[in-house]
Each structure stands twice: as structure tokens, then as C-alpha cells.
Amino acid sequence: MAVHWPVFFGSAATLFVALNAFFAFLYWLGHEPIANAEGNGPLAYFYFSIETLATVGYGDMHPQTDYGHLIATMEIFTGMSFLAVMTGLIFARFSRPRARFVFANTAVIARHEGHKTLMIRTANARHNTISRASARLWLIRAEHTKERDQIRRFYELKLDRSEHPMFVLSWMLFHVIDKESPLNGATPADLEESDALLVLNIGGIDDSSAQQLYARHVYSWRDIRWQHRYKDMTSVSPQGRFLLDYTKFHEVVAEEE
């Protein structure tokens, strides 16, 4: 479901050839099971297998023994099942909604509105409207219980604005690191020691197709830049139009002292 179309069709073609080669081998094991197969050669059996598996049946070659009819029956059932599975997969791939949300390569921690804040920049690459967009951010880290057993615990990080009425262009997510934050007092060394991860989930409804879209991105402790902020990518054109320079989307700069 997730591979690219060339890989999908290439895999299907490989499986198709492999199935036909397998049934051609079974025909070859019998004693002249197929009528009009030139010299009963492997290639003739392979072509007959393709006609049978695809339920084409041109008529010039046909089973003429009980063994041939048995193998043909098995192959017809396999071919019908293969066709049903391929039809379902292709339909599912075409109808599957694909979110093209872009996530900054790194998360940053810097001062925002006077508070130490974790920030993550996202964008909608399709430039269509995503209604009722919502975001949830989780911290996953390893901790030790009182019995010194190591477990991984999940903490939801409260976002300043977890919903967006019209997610069209970019969206900056803020988590204020206050006394109630699981990141309060944490240092880069602490996150490294606990092998911390940030998991960001974004969902919404695509106005064009009225389908629900989801996307997820994971940041490791290595992807968090401390005392950095995202480079401003907004500007105003000479005509007074608001512009976004997406070439600066992933760029960060050191926080000014």
C-alpha cells in the first residue's frame, strides 16, 4: 500500500511470472497433459499457463488428461484469487487519501513570548485547505521504576494551539516548557540518556475530497536544536502580497543572547 507505483507493478509482474513458471513446471511433470503444445516444451506450457491464469483460453491449447484438468483447475482458482486481490489493491491505492504534510527536519527550543518553548514547524505541501486540523505531540522516553526496571513512558506535551481552522500554508506548533511540562529542567544530556523521542501526529479533513488525512513525524533527541529558532521565511512583495519562502523551511539560526 505504501510503495511507489513502479515498485508495486514490478512486484506484481514478478509474482505473475513466478506463478506461471510454477504451474508450467507442474504441467511439464505430467505426460502430455496439454493438447497441441508444440513438442510439449517448457515454453509452450508457460504460455498455456498465462492463458489459463488470466482466464483467456484461446482454445488452440487445452487440457487433454485428468492430470492436465486438475492442474488447470488449480490454476484457474489461483488466477481468479490473484485478480481479485490485485483489483482490490489497485482500487485501495487510488482511493487512499495521501497527506502531504511537510515537517521541519529539526525541532527547536528557544525563547518565545518570554518563555522557554519547544517549537516545530509544519506545512501543507498541497496548498489545499485542511479543515479542522488538529495536532498532538508526545514525548517518549526511557525511565526506571523504583524496582530499577527500565520502561518507556509516554507524556503528551500540551500545545499552545493544538487546532487550526484552515491549515493551508504553514503552521508553527508551540509547547511552553513550564513547571507542568515533562521537559521542565531537562537538558540535552538527559534526553540522550533516556533515548527520548518526540512523536507529532497531525490530522484533518481535506476540503477537496472530504476525506480524513493523517500524518506522523518522529524526532529523536538528536533532532532537537537547543537555543535555536527557525529562520523567518515570510516577506512582503513590492505589490504588498504576503510571501512564504519554502527554501528556508528547514533552516535554523542560533538564538540571540
DSSP 38: G
Q: What local confidence, expressed as pLDDT, does residue 19 receive?
A: 92
pLDDT digits (tens, 9 = 90+) for 29-75: 888 888 888 766 788 889 889 888 887 877 788 888 999 899 999 99
| 3-class DSSP assignment, residue 246 | helix
Give the type of residue at 252: V
pLDDT digits (tens, 9 = 90+) for 99-129: 688 899 999 999 998 899 999 999 888 777 8
Q: Under CATH, what is the fold of the domain 101-254?
A: Immunoglobulin-like (2.60.40)
Q: Under CATH, what is the fold of the domain 5-95?
A: Helix Hairpins (1.10.287)
pLDDT digits (tens, 9 = 90+) for 141-162: 998 888 888 889 999 999 998 9
- Look at residue 247 and tell me whether its pLDDT is greater than 90: no
> Angle at Cα 210 formed by Cα 214 and Cα 87, nearest 5°?
80
Question: Is the pTM higher than 0.85?
Answer: no
Q: What local confidence, expressed as pLDDT, does residue 145 receive?
A: 83
> Residues spanned by CATH 1.10.287.70 within the chain?
5-95
Angle, helix 42-53 to helix 66-95, in steps of 10 degrees: 50
> Residues spanned by CATH 2.60.40.1400 within the chain?
101-254
Between 37 and 226, where is the model more confident? 226
Q: What local confidence, expressed as pLDDT, does residue 4 receive?
A: 83
For the segment 237-253, the average pLDDT, to the nearest whole number, is 84
pLDDT digits (tens, 9 = 90+) for 130-143: 888 999 999 999 98
